Every structure is written in structure tokens, then in C-alpha cells.
Amino acid sequence: MQTKTVYKFKRADGGTSVSPCKPETEYTERVRIIADEGKAVTKDGVNLFFVIDDDSADGYFEIDAPEVDESAMQNTESIETEEESSLEEIVIVE
């Protein structure tokens, strides 16, 4: 399990963003918790995450990730523009 500091802040347009780059505006520090390959992170053993942002990593632990039944997954396509392909900033719509 890895942890990285990320910064949650309000954009000029009123939306909220979370970024690994410290903004030049008021922000709240958060912790991005990233599960190791083949693992998932959880606090309760029920709700599993590969990546989650939280106030603290306290209480999170890793377990083996469950097998994914790919035949049950919906067929989705991802369309990326050059700008969207960067993980520099994740936008949260509230």
C-alpha cells in the first residue's frame, strides 16, 4: 500500500479539484491511498478500493483483491483527449 499527499481545493469556476500539485489557493491536504498490485485497501473488509482519497490512512489495511468476473462487466469505451490523459488533476463534480 502506498500513500501520497494530494490537495483538495475550490477552482475559480466554483468546482472542486483534487491534485498532487500544491495549488496557489486555499486547500485541504488529503491522503491518496493506493493498493499494491493484486490487492485492495479497506477499513472494514467489505468496502474495497484500489485507490481512495481520505483525511488519513489510519485504519486502512490491504487484502487480496477479489477475482473480477469480466463477463459481468458492462462494455464501456473510454475516450481520452490529450488533456484528459494526464492524472495531474482529478476533478470532483459536486
Residue 33 within any structural domain of the chain: yes
Task: Say whether pTM exceeds 0.85.
Answer: no
Task: Count structural domains, the chain.
Answer: 1
Residue with cell 468546482: 15
Residue 45 within any structural domain of the chain: yes
Which string of b and e fits 46-82 if b means at least 16 CB within 10 Å? eebeeebebeeeeebeeeeeeeeeeeeeeeeeeeeee
Residue 29 within any structural domain of the chain: yes
Residue 76 within any structural domain of the chain: no
Residue 79 within any structural domain of the chain: no
- Residue 47 lies in domain: 2-66+85-92
Residue 78 within any structural domain of the chain: no
Q: Which cell goes with 69?
A: 468476473
Taking only the tens place, the pLDDT of each residue in 5-16 is: 999 999 989 999
Residue 72 within any structural domain of the chain: no
Contact 5, 35 (CB under 8 A): no
Taking only the tens place, the pLDDT of each residue in 22-78 is: 999 999 999 999 999 999 999 998 999 999 999 999 999 999 998 876 665 555 454
